[in-house]
Amino acid sequence: MASHLKNTLKTTFYFILFSYLFRLSNGVFSEELSEAISIKRMEKTTHLHFFFHDIHSGKSPSAMLNYEFSEGEFNGSSISVLGRNLWMDDVREMPIVGGSGRFRYASGYALAHTVWLDLNTGDAVVEYNVGFRSFRKY
């Protein structure tokens, strides 16, 4: 009789232990899944189009640009572009490597096209088409 009670207690103990462990591992998976879904809902795609003037110098021009918005809906936000800017090419593609404010965690691309260039002074007007994704709280 004592042996039967001992086996029943062991079985009950292991059943409760494994149920608890299964619940813990199952709970973590579902939390990660719901977080992934909520992050996807926060993702926002933005497209910008603007012109930029620059003075080039040096043998191997590259660009590290940080565009800050100083008014309107995106006031105080910025995006950062990093890449090789070969002014001789008609269209240059550079990656967006980050951002701040409303554009936190931004990633995307910037296409630069030289509209006007003075070879004597190095002055230029450059058209930028920018597309990127960022996460927003709202």
pLDDT tens readout for residues 30-48: 334 444 555 555 666 666 6
* Of 54 and 122, the one with more pLDDT: 122
Of residues 130, 111, 135, the one with CA closest to residue 48:
130
Tell me the pLDDT tens digit for each residue of 71-115. 888 888 888 888 877 778 899 998 998 888 888 888 899 898 888
Confidence of residue 123 (pLDDT cuts 50, 70, 90): confident
Domain parsing of the chain, residue ranges = 44-135
* SS3 (DSSP) at 45: strand
Buried b (16+ CB within 10 A) or exposed e, 83-120: bebebeeeebebebebbbebbeebebebebebeeeeee
Reported pTM: 0.55
Task: Yes or no: say if 103 and 133 are a contact pair by the CB < 8 Å rule.
Answer: no
